[in-house]
Structure 1
Amino acid sequence: MYRNEIQEACAFIENKITLKPSIGLILGSGLGVLGDEIENPIIIPYKDIPHFPESTVTGHKGQLVIGNLEGKQVIAMQGRFHYYEGYTMQQVTFPVRVMKELGIESIIVTNAAGGINKGFNPGDLMLISDHINNMGDNPLLGPNDDRLGVRFPDMSQVYNRELVSLAESCANQLGLTVQKGVYVGNTGPIYETPAEIKMLRTLGGDAVGMSTVPEVIVAGHAGIRVLGISCISNMAAGILDQPLTHDEVMETTEKVRENFLQFVKKIIQTIS
């Protein structure tokens, strides 16, 4: 049944486009501006697509944008779905399944994250080298459909090393300093306590957020190459003596907008 839903959503999208996108983009809080850069865009609201959830979070437009970017055919999610919105893990990751069905080979997953590593600063961009699933759930629980991926997928290189190296090279060419580290996925919607951040740092986390991990697990299961980029939008609880707010997240992503756009566009231009 789940596969039928994927195919129905895919057929609906294919009926609207003539392109065959090969690169997917998932744009997190405040980072949807990249979707506005797409040329000759075809815009499809999530609410129109069969079986798609709807995004309810500020900073998420809630639409697919399909078109050309830096000479490549891309499909971008302007806004994503979160587990904390009440969706199941399968609903959260449904668009990744649809992207695979559409022929996506590589996906760039972005997010706004809190900095755990004390060497980071708000506004830094971090390439994700690995993740820790601290969500207490997994989108692959339940019966496995072998047509979608193997029962026991390997996650040791789910963040594609070639794409990470390519991104580092692009940053060097642009004169951008980017961090690299481990992303911790928590459920949200609460920000973490100082004690929790101390624990996550001890476990090896460099940044923490409320997304990305489910989508990356499903992308790995589906055989899609993954590149993850976090915008360090604030320092996590207990590092600075100030409260955390979503407004701060949005303000920081606005400040790094140009670097973010420049960086991801260069990666897309270079990706093969």
Structure 2
Amino acid sequence: MELSYVEQINQAAGFIRSRIGGRLPAIGLVLGSGLGDLADEVEDAVKIDFGDVPHFPVSTVEGHAGRFVIGTLEGKPVIVMQGRFHYYEGYPMRKVVAPIYVMRKLGIQALVVTNAAGGMNRAFRPGDLMLICDHLNMTGDHPLIGKNEAELGPRFPDMSEAYNKSYRELAHRISSQIRGDDGNALELQEGVYCGISGPSYMTPAELKMLARLGGDAVGMSTVAEVIAARHCGLNVLGVSCITDMAIGEELEPLSHEQVMEVANRTKPKFAALVKSFVRVVSI
């Protein structure tokens, strides 16, 4: 007999717990395309490939190592997803968000979710970091469709503050203390993230539509994970690395390699921001 979704979550969490003993994490981090190197700074790390975890698929995207890294970062117990699953890989939404529920079962109370995104706001520039203040779910699907599992969360979770306001305020305060190569303080953008299904990049007409709907950045992840996080009671900080400009009227050809190149250049200030947040956030 096939296990229920909750049973699969519990079995996956139990497997990870058996590998890490009593060192349960307090903060979860999801590292997007080109940003996974931060996991290499986790101390006393236990690394578990997604493919070894019961009921987990594997990540198939370049730039995603596809594993959990559990240990200590900036003095706090963390579990890091070095890569993620995407809807466009062919996985059902419930598979895409399963790691969020597993991390919650392991004890995390806060989630930092990151991604590489195209900037639709003309005030943005490639290499900017954008705090996500809200999102538009344009994937055409939803991770909570179907039978609600009351053990995971309520049937109708509130999304009035999907991205925690106090976390964003803390990130802004932290950024003023982070210096770039030019000696200037890190300036953070803030905006609305549009989550699309992918895997194709958007057409000029589609980008113009999203901008008119209020979107500031666009990408192929994050939204479903944040819905699941709020469903199970997690507070969320969302950070997008703006890797390219997705202005419909001025759109130029784009490749995944270009996205990765800009994400790699942005890693030092991204890492400084996330590590500082982990160090000072109250859990």
Q: Which category of TM-score, normalised to the shorter sequence, fits these structures?
A: over 0.9
Which residue of structure 1 lines up, in the alignment, with residue 228 of structure 2?
Answer: 218
Give the Cα separation in 2 of the matches to 1:241 and 1:181: 20
Which residue of structure 1 lines up, in the alignment, with residue 163 of structure 2?
Answer: 159
The question of whether the paired residues in 2 share the 8 Å contact of 1:65 and 1:75 is answered with yes
5+ residue gaps, structure 2, are 179-184
Which residue of structure 2 lines up, in the alignment, with residue 229 of structure 1?
Answer: 239
**Equivalent residue runs for 1:21-170 within 5 Å:** 21-170=25-174
5+ residue gaps, structure 1, are none
Give the Cα separation in 2 of the matches to 1:112 and 1:28: 6
How far residue 238 of structure 1 moved from its aligned partner, in angstroms, is: 3.1
TM-score (norm 1): 0.98
How far residue 185 of structure 1 moved from its aligned partner, in angstroms, is: 0.2
Which residue of structure 1 lines up, in the alignment, with residue 262 of structure 2?
Answer: 252
The question of whether the paired residues in 2 share the 8 Å contact of 1:22 and 1:103 is answered with yes
TM-score (norm 2): 0.95
The question of whether the paired residues in 2 share the 8 Å contact of 1:27 and 1:78 is answered with yes
Query: What is the identity, as a one-letter code, of the residue corresponding to 1:236?
Result: A
The question of whether the paired residues in 2 share the 8 Å contact of 1:192 and 1:237 is answered with no
Does the residue aligned with 1:165 lie in a helix, a strand or coil? Answer: helix
Does the residue aligned with 1:74 lie in a helix, a strand or coil? Answer: strand
The question of whether the paired residues in 1 share the 8 Å contact of 2:66 and 2:83 is answered with yes
Give the Cα separation in 2 of the matches to 1:172 and 1:155: 29
Does the residue aligned with 2:248 lie in a helix, a strand or coil? Answer: coil
Give the Cα separation in 1 of the matches to 2:240 and 2:69: 21
The question of whether the paired residues in 1 share the 8 Å contact of 2:122 and 2:247 is answered with no
How far residue 162 of structure 1 moved from its aligned partner, in angstroms, is: 1.1
The question of whether the paired residues in 2 share the 8 Å contact of 1:237 and 1:244 is answered with no
Give the Cα separation in 2 of the matches to 1:48 and 1:20: 19
Which residue of structure 1 lines up, in the alignment, with residue 281 of structure 2?
Answer: 271
* Cα root mean square deviation, aligned: 0.9
Query: What is the identity, as a one-letter code, of the residue corresponding to 2:260?
Result: M
How far residue 240 of structure 1 moved from its aligned partner, in angstroms, is: 4.0
Give the Cα separation in 2 of the matches to 1:107 and 1:28: 13
Instruction: Using the TM superposition, name which of 168-177 and 21-30 deviates more.
Output: 168-177
Does the residue aligned with 2:211 lie in a helix, a strand or coil? Answer: helix
How far residue 242 of structure 1 moved from its aligned partner, in angstroms, is: 2.4
Does the residue aligned with 2:273 lie in a helix, a strand or coil? Answer: helix
Give the Cα separation in 2 of the matches to 1:64 and 1:209: 22
Which residue of structure 2 lines up, in the alignment, with residue 9 of structure 1?
Answer: 12
How far residue 172 of structure 1 moved from its aligned partner, in angstroms, is: 1.4
Query: What is the identity, as a one-letter code, of the residue corresponding to 1:267?
Result: F
Runs of 4+ in 1 over 2 A off after TM superposition: 237-242
Give the Cα separation in 1 of the matches to 2:222 and 2:93: 11
How far residue 239 of structure 1 moved from its aligned partner, in angstroms, is: 5.1
Does the residue aligned with 1:220 lie in a helix, a strand or coil? Answer: helix
Give me the identity figure in percent: 55
Query: What is the identity, as a one-letter code, of the residue corresponding to 2:60?
Result: T
Does the residue aligned with 1:181 lie in a helix, a strand or coil? Answer: strand
Query: What is the identity, as a one-letter code, of the residue corresponding to 2:20?
Result: I
How far residue 102 of structure 1 moved from its aligned partner, in angstroms, is: 0.4
The question of whether the paired residues in 2 share the 8 Å contact of 1:69 and 1:265 is answered with yes
